[in-house]
Chain A
Amino acid sequence: MMSEHYDSYYQETDAGRRKAMLDAMEKENTADQMHSLRRELWTLRYVDKKTGRRVDLFLWELVELLCLYNTARLMKGSARRDAKKALEALGASAAAGYGKEGETVLYEELCNALRLYLHTCDSKSYHKRLFGLSELKEEDWQRKVARDIWRLSEGLPKRLGMTEDFAILSKAARDTFCSRFANGEALLQEKEELERGKDKKQ
């Protein structure tokens, strides 16, 4: 019964409904040590400290990390600092104090954010190319999504030499992508080989 609640909490992407679920879970099982971390992650993710507005800062950090991949080649030092800040905003330091269990909770939360990210990839604007004049074909769109996931899970961590810091996010990105796309592993493998080919040429 309890695990069902957790499952639906991590499947749900609406902040308000998730808050209600979190409250209900806390009432049902007061002994769970991870409730405080879940609440902390919820606040970290959905509450803008400056304005108090409801936002999704995890989603923003994911997009920002993807943009960082492009600039990371030139300004590695500042990119590394920005990446550290982004990982912190994604709850890395909040979860650090809770040991292995905390890592699992963070992983689940990141999977939830990534599921929402993949959902945004279905939007019309993501399908556009050539100044928005034409749209991507289905297979090209899948490759574009795979490119984003590869950048988050492999490309950026390697480029910045931060593989360990990115470990949880990398795993969450790969797993979420592969659970959404049946050919997910093959797409990521294809991207990986493409990048390896480039490295060999260099």
Chain B
Amino acid sequence: MGKIKNNKVVKAIGFNRIVLIGVIILLYIVFTILTPILHSGVTFVSYERIMSALNYAYFIGFMALGVTFVIATGGIDFSVGPVMFASALISGFCLTKYNVPLPLCLLISLLIGLAFGTLNGYFVSYRFLPSFITSMASMQIAKGIGSVFTKTQNVTWPASGSANSWYRYLVKWNNIPTGFILLCLVAVICAVVLNKTKAGRYMLCIGSNKEAVRLSGVNTKKWEMIAYMICGMLAGLAAIFYVGAYTTVQPGLGDTFNNEAIAACVMGGTSMAGGLASILGSIIGAVIVALMQEGILAMGFTISYQYVLTGLIVLAAVTADIMSRKRKN
């Protein structure tokens, strides 16, 4: 084990991330073996299955990237899922009912996410409300606004082939998973921001010792708020990829995706105490969550089983993080 850990490649990527990549491979093998046994006539190994898992990974990945910024500052955002749904519903409603041009609708989606991020950030950093309470409240607001705006009606974005359907190319174009390329691109930008810029350093240091950062002259309120704003905007971006993959959005939903995004982050190595974050880890975590969802459905189980599994993953990830921190201290 020591030799593996000290290997240059392993060190460069990080041992934990290698383990997570191993988990992806293992899950893929397990689902490949179990799917035909549990669900006769169905196979797991197919291009469609990979694309379906990736469709799920995109929006979970964008949300996980956003949540990574917030967790890095020592906070939490439980509203990302409903905010994503509210963004998709309102912008979709503008597109289908009011014939607002598509590029403007996509911008509206981002702005709605940003507005919720700003709201969360303001109350957490300037009004000193616990992030847990604030984000729970904005989760309810997002669910409510989405329902009120659409009068509790489903919103269906234009399907492929119809006018205004080019937004779907963001997810898939000529069988090329463009969504994955864009997710990686945004992840690289996030990694650079978090690890190579003053802003990222401020956010990580706020998570490590907020009072010391404040006393050193940094405007901690501003940078903490910016972390929430980034998170909100990425939830708005996740909404675009959600509708790009599934087209139909239901009001009043979205809260189940919070846990998946947070689980992806924590699994990926972002510390729940703040001060330590891994963008690559969050992406790998999102792929694991998506693969599990796809695997469960392929094996013939209902989506409820996935909720159980997600809950178990969150428990396992949180326990592992607490134990590893205890060991480190």
Contacts and interface: CB of A to CB of B under 8 A. Distances in A.
B184 interface: no
B215 A56 contact: yes
Contact of A70 (B1, B275, B326): B275
Contacts of A66: 205, 208-209
B211 to A, nearest CB: 4
Contact of B74 (A63, A64, A125, A201): A125
A193 interface: no
Interface residues of A, number: 41
B213 interface: yes
A125 to B, nearest CB: 4
Interface in A26-66: 48, 53-60, 62-64, 66
A53 B276 CA distance: 29
B212 A63 contact: yes
Contacts, number: 110
Interface residues of B, number: 40
Nearest to B217: A55
A71 interface: yes
B213 A131 contact: no
B1 A120 contact: no
Contacts of B209: 63, 66, 117, 120-121, 123, 125-126, 148
A194 interface: yes
B41 interface: no
A143 interface: yes
Contacts of B274: 128
Contacts of A117: 209, 212
A131 B217 contact: no
Interface in A170-201: 191, 194, 201
Contacts of B305: none
A131 B275 contact: no
A19 interface: no
Given A48-B217, A53-B217, A74-B14, A59 B205 contact: no
B210 A123 contact: yes
A60 B5 contact: no
Of all A-B residue pairs in the complex, the 3 with the closest CB atoms, nearest first, are: A55-B217, A60-B216, A131-B76
Interface of B: 1-2, 5-6, 11-12, 14, 71, 74-76, 130-132, 195, 201, 204-205, 208-213, 215-218, 272-276, 318, 322, 325-329
Interface of A: 48, 53-60, 62-64, 66-67, 70-71, 73-74, 116-117, 120-121, 123, 125-126, 128-133, 140, 143-144, 146-148, 191, 194, 201-202
23 contacts: A56-B217, A60-B216, A64-B205, A67-B205, A67-B208, A70-B276, A117-B212, A121-B211, A121-B212, A125-B211, A126-B209, A126-B210, A128-B273, A128-B274, A129-B273, A129-B325, A132-B132, A140-B329, A146-B329, A194-B328, A201-B1, A202-B1, A202-B2
